[in-house]
Structure 1
Amino acid sequence: MWPPGGGTRRPLAPRVAAPREPVDPARIGRRVVRRRARGMDAGAVAAALEEARFDARQDSRHEDRADDVRGRAELGEWERLHQLLADAAPGTVYDPDTDDVVQAELAADAAAAAAREAELREAARIAARADELQALRELGTLEQTEPRDGDEAVRDELTRRAGGYVQTDVDAWLAHAMAAHLGHYRDPAARDAAAGLLPPPVLTHAALLAALARLVPAADVDEMVFADQLATAEPEAAGALAAFLTRAHLEDCCPCGPSRARKRGGA
C-alpha cells in the first residue's frame, strides 16, 4: 500500500505556483529616486540631495525611524546621482536609460527572472513526470518503462510526496536501469552524473546487479532480489562484494591477470 497508511491511489500533487518576490525597501527607495531624478540637471539633484539629508537628520531624532532602510537607500542614491552629474559634462541631465548602474541592475533582474522561470518549468516537469510514474506504479508497469533524463529528481519528488519514506520499487527500477544501461543510462555521462544524484544504496544496488549480470549473464532480475536487500541493509558490504565480483570478472577475462600469474608462478 502506498503511501504507508494510505489507500492504493493518491491525489495528484498540486501544481507549482510562482513564488512572490520579497519586498526590498532599499530597491524601492532607489527606484523612487531615479524616477524623480529623470531629466534633472546637477543643480536640481544637488537641491534634492540637501532635502534628503535634511530628512535623514530629522529621522535620526526619532527612534522609530532609526532603522529606515528605504530612507538610507534614497539618500545614498541621491549622493550617487549628484556625483554622477558632477563628473558629467555641464548641462547634462539624468537619464536612467543611460545609467550604467541602473542598466546593470536591470540585466541582473532579467537574468534572475529567467532563472526563476526555468526553475518553475523544471518543477512543473518533475511534478508531471512524478504523476506519470505514480500512475505506472498503480498499473504495475513501472518496470517496463525506461527512465528519462531527470528521473533522479522525480524520485526525490515521489519520496517527498510519501512523507520521506523510501520508495523501494522506484529505487529498484532505477538501479536495474542503471545496471542494464536502459533509458538515458545508455549514456555513460548520465551514469556518471547519477553518482551525485542518487543515494548510496541505489548506486550500490546498481553496481551489484551489474557485477552479478556479468557473472551470470542468463540470470533473471527476479533471481537477484537479494541484491536489493543486501544493498539496503548492508550497503558497504554490498559495495565491497560488487567490487570483488568486478575484479574477479576482469581477472577471469584477462589471461595475464594477477590470479593467473600467481597460479603460474606457484606451479
Structure 2
Amino acid sequence: MTTPSPTPRTGRRPLALRVAVLREPVDPARIGRRVVRCRATGMDTGAVVGALDAAEFDVRQASRHEDLADDLRGPTELAEWERIEQMLAAAPPGTVYDPDTDPVVRAELAADAAAATAREAELRKAMRIAARADELQALR
C-alpha cells in the first residue's frame, strides 16, 4: 500500500483568507453584570438582599488585597446587585427578577446587536478590499 504524496504548495493563499477576524475585547465589568443577572434570575427581594450582603462582604475583603485593587468585576457586581434590589423594591410584593423583562438588559442587548452589526459590516468591507487587492495583484 502506498501513501499518497502530499499536495504541493503552490504560491500564497489569497489575502482574503488571511484577514484577521475582529474579536470583542474581554470586559470584566460586563462579565460581572452577566453573572449577577444569571444568579439573580428567579430571586425575590429577600434572596437579592442576601446576595447583596455577600457581594458587599466580597468587595470589602477584596479591597484589602493589593493585587485586587484594579479589579472592576467586584464593584460592578455589587452595583448590579444594588440595581436589581432597587428594581425589586419598587415592584409589587412577590415579584421575582427576570432578565428578559429588565429594561437595562434589553437596552444592553440592543446596543450589543448594533455593535455586532457594525463589526460585521467592517469585516465585510475589509474582506471586499482584500479580495480586490488580490484581484489587482493577480492582474499585475
The TM-score with structure 2 as length reference comes to 0.85
**2:55–2:78 CA contact under 8 A, matched in 1:** yes
1:98: Cα distance to partner? Answer: 0.3
Query: In 2, Cα distance between the equivalents of 1:35 and 1:42?
Result: 15
Residue equivalent to 1:13: 15
Output the amino acid matched with 1:89. P
Matching of residues 106-255 of structure 1 within 5 Å = 106-136=109-139, 138=140
Output the amino acid matched with 1:69. L
Ranked by relative contact order (alpha carbons within 8 Å, sequence separation 6 or more), the top structure is 2
Residue equivalent to 1:40: 43
Matching of residues 252-267 of structure 1 within 5 Å = none
1:55: Cα distance to partner? Answer: 1.1
Query: In 1, Cα distance between the equivalents of 2:60 and 2:127?
Result: 50
Output the amino acid matched with 1:36. R
**2:16–2:127 CA contact under 8 A, matched in 1:** no
Task: Please tell me whether residue 77 in structure 1 is matched to residue 80 in structure 2.
Answer: yes
Which of 5, 29, 32 aligns to 1:29? It is: 32
Greater Rg, structure 1 or structure 2? 1
Structure 1 stretches of at least 4 aligned residues deviating more than 4 Å after TM superposition: none
Output the amino acid matched with 1:91. G
Query: In 1, Cα distance between the equivalents of 2:63 and 2:124?
Result: 46
Residue ranges of structure 1 left out of the alignment (5+ in a row): 1-9, 139-267
**2:22–2:123 CA contact under 8 A, matched in 1:** no
Secondary structure at 1:40 match in 2: coil
Output the amino acid matched with 1:65. L
Query: In 2, Cα distance between the equivalents of 1:38 and 1:18?
Result: 34
Count of equivalent residues: 128
Residue equivalent to 2:93: 90
Output the amino acid matched with 1:102. V
- RMSD value, Cα: 1.5
Residue equivalent to 1:68: 71
1:107: Cα distance to partner? Answer: 0.8
Query: In 2, Cα distance between the equivalents of 1:66 and 1:107?
Result: 32
Residue-by-residue CA offset, 1:161-216 (whole Å, 9 max, x unaligned): xxxxxxxxxxxxxxxxxxxxxxxxxxxxxxxxxxxxxxxxxxxxxxxxxxxxxxxx
Residue-by-residue CA offset, 1:215-256 (whole Å, 9 max, x unaligned): xxxxxxxxxxxxxxxxxxxxxxxxxxxxxxxxxxxxxxxxxx
The TM-score with structure 1 as length reference comes to 0.46
Task: Please tell me whether residue 102 in structure 1 is matched to residue 105 in structure 2.
Answer: yes
Residue-by-residue CA offset, 1:111-157 (whole Å, 9 max, x unaligned): 11111111111111111111212323x2xxxxxxxxxxxxxxxxxxx
